[in-house]
Amino acid sequence: MRILGIDPGLQTTGFGVIDVHGHKLSYVASGTIRTTKLELGDLPGRLKVLFDGINEVCARYQPEAASVEIVFVNVNPQSTLLLGQARGAALTALVANDLKVAEYTALQMKKAVVGHGRAAKSQVQEMVRRLLQLPGLPGTDAADALGLAITHAHAGMAMARMAEVSPLQRRQHAMYKAGRSY
């Protein structure tokens, strides 16, 4: 299975693609989609760059599933709203490419990759490098995206096994608390 991880951001969106064969993880590609060449006030233009960039990544690498980071609420509500719009553009691009999308919080990703939810960015980078046997450290945004793909590789298999036994149902009351439960 090929999984695309997306770490959304209005200025820089990270992406990471991995292949999963049983329990073996293989690196395919990673990078960033940057909107910094556009003016800060050009929100529609920035969202279009993100949408088109993710469409290009999907066309090039043909993922079968995707995972996206769930936005947390910042101290600055305006920043949270802008990040949410970038995340919406990413989700729309993934769904437009007929991908099933899983969502994980940064805390869930860090627990899955590093072992504790308060890990520093450098720790995520190092563990992603080790897990995927990369020759060097990926950038922070790409490392987070690869971490989301790794999280889905592990959690997605477990959730699929659980779904075989008992159908998973979306719980509306927990959606906006400490992460989403499906």
Token pair 């929100």: residue: 43
Which among 42, 52, 64, 141 is annotated as catalytic? 141
Provide the token pair at 162.
């659980």
Query: Residues 61, 2: contact at Cβ < 8 Å?
Result: yes
Concerning whether 141 is annotated as a catalytic residue, the answer is: yes
- Write the CA distances from 60 to 40, 97, 107, 165, 171, integer angstroms: 29, 12, 30, 35, 35
* CA–CA gap between residue 42 and residue 29 (Å, rounded): 29
Query: Which residue is catalytic, options 42, 69, 98, 144?
Result: 69
What does residue 13 show for φ and ψ, rounded to 5 degrees? -110, 125
Whole-angstrom CA distances from 69 to 21, 34, 110, 129, 161 are 23, 17, 11, 19, 22
End-to-end Cα separation, the chain, in angstroms: 21
Please give the positions annotated as active site. 7, 69, 141
